[in-house]
Chains A and B, each alone.
Chain A
Amino acid sequence: MSHHDLLIIWPGSPLLSVLLWIGVAVALLYLARFPAHRAIISFSRMLHGALRLASRSTLLLERRVVVRTREVMINAGVEERELALERGFQRIAEAVTRDLSGYPALQRTLVEQSGEIDEEYRNSALLPPPPPGWVRAVEVLAKLPAEGDASIVPILNSIHKTVESQYHTAMTDYNRAVSERQAILKRIMPHWRKVSETLDEMGNRIKRLEERAKLVDISLAEYEEIRSQSDQAARTLTASSVTRFFTAAAFLFIALVGVVLNFHLIALPMSEMVGGGSYIGSFRSSSVAALVIILVELAMGICIMEFLGITRLFPSLGQVDDKMRPRLALIAFVILTVLAGVEASLAYVRDQLAGELQVFQQSLAQTQGAQPLSTWIPATGQMVIAFVLPFALTFGAIPLESLVKTGRTVLGITVAAALRWAAFALRALGHLFLHLGRLGVQLYDLLIFPPLWVEGLLRYRCRRAEGFLEEQAPQ
């Protein structure tokens, strides 16, 4: 007897058996209706409650992430503005030191110029013109009648002529003296011009200082805004972080492409040095060696940028003595140059190997392959690329720093957004389960609708009978 046969209640009539089983099931379901309803509702409410709780927890977590991200962002912004202010003040200090150190010289120049002007001015003082009384005597003599005493007239004429000639001589001397004074005054002109230029230069320097002070004022205002932790500052910082993150990522992608190109330039010829058949782990030794060279170059590039104070990825490197920094940067630069030279040599070897391989392949195929137009151009090109790329990749430290600094903020923003969506999804799911529970109750009742219909009918009759009795009772 199979399991199938066990289910046959009415032998020879499976349909009847099925109907009987349905009847039994409906009867059992009807009997278990209220506990089943309670179970369904409880289960759906339990799921709803659990998901709601999870949603609230997720929201709380999201708030914490948002607050933490904001703190990190504000701190980073404050640090950045402090650096900007520090640099601004440094520039002002340098400008003031440079300009003020020139002020004594300028002052000396001005004093010298003014002394010379003063002296020239004094030299140019005019001689007094002929005394007016002397002029009047000449006028009186000139007005005397010419037809007077014959003995006096010649004397007067003689006096007149003498006076006139002296007058002309005096005027000539006077005019000459005036001309000389004018020449002296003309010599004062360059001094005035120099004084004017000196004053202009001083004015320009003060103007530049004012411009720098304005920039510092702007940075200071931003710094104050960030320090106040206002929403506006947080929004500005968020937008700035996201923009800088993607810009830095784009630049780093370009740098990564450069690294891959660099790697392919030196991986094959490296097997001439370390052998082409050995492996370290699951990678060729030559590939690992090429990778090590590139990573050392990148590390040297980062060190150079750190020692020059362009980036601040490692605080310990930033604490190195100021005198030591240029020396260490020079050492890193020398190492980088040596490695770049090694890369250039390897690139040349690569070209040679590729050429030899090509010739061998052609000999296998017994064909005379087309000769390249020029052999030295690709070889030189590869060498130049291999030499220049390490230095170019040095500048990758700047976007790297930017990416690392803004990465924390962007990660926080992303995680917060994900948590927000998760909380929303959990809440929606909870409501869905609650309504599914209600729907389950309705579907349950739908399955047992025949006994429910009978029950409803009986109740209706009972109620009608009770109503009839109640109506009869007062009578």
Chain B
Amino acid sequence: MRWAVAILFLAQAVGIAGCTESVRKPRAACLLIESARLRSAQAQAVVNYFLSALQPGESFGIACLGTGNFSDRDTIASVLLDARPSLTAQQKRLLKKKFDEFNPSPQPAGHLDIAGALLYAVAQLGETNAEERYVLILADLGKEQIPGPVKDFPLQMEGCRVIPITVENGELTGRQQAAALKRLEAWEDWVEAGGGDWQVVNDLALLGTIFPGS
């Protein structure tokens, strides 16, 4: 009889445990936003989504792609969320405030240092020890080329997923579109050569499947 009771208890425990969500590996995400698109609805939507989807213990950072030479001064805000949900909400609120109050410097006429920002983001995410790492890029990658010296730099991106979000880039001719696609492929090859994953997001609703919330 004792065995039967023990089995029933175990079954109950397993049943309740089955009701709970499955295991989720610790995650960290870094969002790189072109300074010209910092106040766009798209950027607001992405930031809002991540703030609502992030769970206690996870990390999130936002950086601005506004200069030709990316440095840590371009980081808008970054946070490692506390394990307690009550503090998590406060941290998120603070991060959102920093993002809203950030004043980007005027964008230079030249190219953006997306490659440098990417290297910086990968390094920052590596420090979090998160098992799932995401780098989101809200910039026109089709316009930017990987600089020659950087292209040969051995990128270490194991366990990292790079997610460029498609942005409006005006009317392009067929030739320009072909060139943009070629540049995008070059970015993809570069990331995948470093061991990372590449996934282009055309619809923000897809973020729910890539980075699910609670």
A interface with B by C-beta (< 8 Å): 256, 259-260, 263-264, 267-268, 271-272, 275-279, 281-284, 287-288, 291, 294-295, 298-299, 302, 313-314, 349, 352-353, 356-357, 360-361, 363-365, 400, 403-405, 407-408
Contact = CB atoms under 8 A, between A and B. Distances in A.
B17 A278 contact: no
A302 B12 CA distance: 15
B2 A313 contact: yes
Contact of A278 (B1, B8, B48, B57): B57
Contact of B55 (A277, A352, A403): A277
A256 B8 CA distance: 11
A272 B15 CA distance: 24
Given A295-B13, A360-B93, A287 B86 contact: no
Contact of A365 (B48, B85, B89): B48
A277 B26 contact: yes
B187 to A, nearest CB: 30
Contacts of A256: 12, 15
Nearest to B11: A256
Contacts of B57: 275-278
B152 interface: no
Given A313-B1, A365-B48, A284 B16 contact: no
Given A360-B93, A364-B48, A276 B55 contact: yes
Contact of B83 (A278, A288, A299): A278
Contacts of B8: 400, 403-404
A287 B84 contact: no
B19 interface: yes
B92 to A, nearest CB: 6
Interface in B32-62: 48, 51-52, 55-58
A271 B22 contact: no
B88 interface: yes
Contacts of A353: 85-86, 89
A439 B3 CA distance: 53
B56 to A, nearest CB: 3
A470 B12 CA distance: 91
Nearest to B97: A363
Given A283-B20, A298-B9, A404-B5, A272 B86 contact: yes
A166 to B, nearest CB: 98
Contacts of B2: 313-314
A282 B24 CA distance: 8
Contacts of B203: none
Given A271-B83, A357-B89, 7 more contacts: A260-B19, A275-B57, A276-B57, A277-B81, A283-B23, A295-B13, A313-B2
B4 A277 contact: no
Contact of A282 (B13, B23, B51, B55): B23
Contacts of A298: 9, 12
Interface of B: 1-2, 4-5, 8-9, 12-13, 15-17, 19-24, 26, 48, 51-52, 55-58, 81, 83-86, 88-89, 92-93, 96
Contacts of A360: 52, 89, 92-93
B211 to A, nearest CB: 16
Contact of B93 (A287, A295, A363, A404): A363
A361 B52 contact: yes
Contacts of B56: 271, 275-277
Contact of B17 (A275, A287, A404): A287
7 contacts: A268-B85, A295-B9, A313-B5, A314-B5, A349-B86, A400-B8, A404-B8
Nearest to B56: A276
A281 B20 CA distance: 13
B26 A287 contact: no
A385 B188 CA distance: 54
A256 B95 CA distance: 41
A158 B98 CA distance: 141
A264 to B, nearest CB: 8
Contacts of A283: 17, 20, 23
Nearest to B22: A282
Nearest to A411: B4
Given A260-B16, A313-B2, A407-B4, A272 B85 contact: yes
Contacts of A356: 86, 89
Contacts of A364: 48, 51-52, 96
Q: Which of B16, B88, B89, B93 has the most CB of A within 10 A?
A: B16
Interface centre among A256, A264, A276, A360 (most CB of B within 10 A): A276
Contact of B85 (A259, A276, A408): A276
Contacts of B22: 282
In the A-B complex, the 4 residue pairs with the smallest Cβ-Cβ separation, listed nearest first, are A277-B57, A275-B83, A276-B56, A282-B23
B50 to A, nearest CB: 10
A267 to B, nearest CB: 7
A263 B9 contact: no
A263 B19 contact: yes
